[in-house]
A and B are shown apart, each in its own frame.
Chain A
Amino acid sequence: MNRRAGLALLATGALAAGLGVAINWWRTRPKQATAEATAALFAATFPDPDGQLQPLARWRGRVLVVNFWATWCPPCVEEMPDLQEARNAYQVRGVEVIGIGIDSASKIAAFRDRHRITLPLLVAGAGGSDLSRALGNGSGGLPYTVLIDQDGGLRERHLGQVKPEQLRRWLDAALSRG
């Protein structure tokens, strides 16, 4: 192999590697804060544990934390008090925190009463998984938490138990945006 061909091969290799990096970045990039991703969410209506229908559109225009969870999921149960606390602290600034349960109404009601949860809990059953996937949850795992800004843009997302500091950082950033 002569030198020129070797160089060309090297250049091709570098180009391919660069392309690989670029594709990987594109595939794993955080979702742009488009209202598109949240359209399905705001179009949905779920009952609360008492059977009252709650259209999600009622929370449009607010900074909204949406937590996908279930009573059968230990990390979800663990983080619910932190979500409740964030709601208590940020409600005066117009924030709402809601929980979408991949679970039955009776189990969610029992959990709500036992742990004195006052943030809105909705009963989505298995259909909630599709909604969480639409919001960028590739694996469909729980808990999954997203933050939606005042313009309906999907701003933050996290799979697994979310730390209280992280929630505060999300909320402070979204509220200071102007």
Chain B
Amino acid sequence: MIRSASASGSRDDLTLEIAATAARLIAEDGYDYAAAKRKAVQLVLGETGAARGRLPENDLVEAELRRYLRTFGGQDHVALINELRTAALSLMEYLGSFSPHLVGAVLNGTATEHSALHLHLFTDSAKDVEIFLLNEGIRFTVEEADEPAGVLESIRLQIPRRLLAAGASAPDAVLSVLHTDAVRITSRFRSSDPTLSPIERSGRASLTAVRALLAAPQGLG
């Protein structure tokens, strides 16, 4: 995975190296994509070159991250993904009345031990989700600012232990609440990686789809 970028290296070689470095920062240190890309530019080009460096697209970083995890993660990483998906399924069954869908790194298989589960919930009133959680005695925080279009609000919580298998770690979950109609809009986060199953590639998976994903034969890729 080590790529040398010579002084005469093309811009694309450099972009690829920045993407690979960003992938390592995400996998090992839990950086988010944006921070990882900025840091990677610094590491690859140095402080002075950083201003000139081109940031790689998220797709490229994701592809490099997938490659990194397959190379160094092995069956431990497959086990982690399955554990996170099992936790996601429990949480989705629990939140079943809000049409929960799994999105993000847990769905596409690039989650690490630093990752939170990310669900999309679809409801007419964002407050319904908060009221449900309050009634259930679950502590959560609401992040309303700086949301991508269509998201009414984001709720962060730690998955209650009672929903998880004994001994499983309790990951954080981020619930993005969207309006009911938004479920008809195709996910922006589709992946084109041919090594993924259609469900993993879809960008957004319903309860049935996550169940099917967990029941399907497993491989080391």
Contact = CB atoms under 8 A, between A and B. Distances in A.
A-B complex is real: yes
A159 to B, nearest CB: 5
User: For the complex, would chain B's binding face be called helix, strand, loop or mixed by DSSP majority?
Assistant: helix
Nearest to B86: A74
A129 B214 contact: no
Contacts of B215: 74-75, 78, 160-161
Contact of B214 (A70, A75, A102, A144): A75
A103 B75 contact: yes
Contacts of B86: 74
Contacts of A159: 217
A127 interface: no
A139 interface: yes
B44 to A, nearest CB: 33
B79 A143 contact: no
Nearest to B167: A114
B219 interface: yes
Which interface class (under 10, 10 to 19, 20 to 34, 35 or more) fits B? Answer: 10 to 19
Contacts of B75: 70, 72, 102-103, 126
Contacts of A70: 75, 218
B145 interface: no
Nearest to B89: A74
A105 B219 CA distance: 19
B19 to A, nearest CB: 28
A72 B76 CA distance: 8
Interface in B89-111: none
A10 B215 CA distance: 46
User: For the complex, would chain A's binding face be called helix, strand, loop or mixed by DSSP majority?
Assistant: loop
A143 B215 CA distance: 10
A73 interface: yes
B218 A72 contact: yes
B40 interface: no
A130 to B, nearest CB: 12
Nearest to A125: B75
A141 interface: yes
Given A70-B75, A102-B75, A103-B75, A76 B218 contact: yes
Contacts of A54: none
Contacts of A142: 217-219
B82 A143 contact: no
Contacts of A160: 215-217
A71 interface: yes
11 contacts: A70-B218, A71-B79, A72-B218, A73-B78, A73-B82, A73-B218, A74-B214, A74-B218, A75-B214, A142-B219, A143-B218
Given A70-B218, A72-B79, A142-B219, 5 more contacts: A74-B86, A75-B218, A126-B220, A139-B217, A161-B215
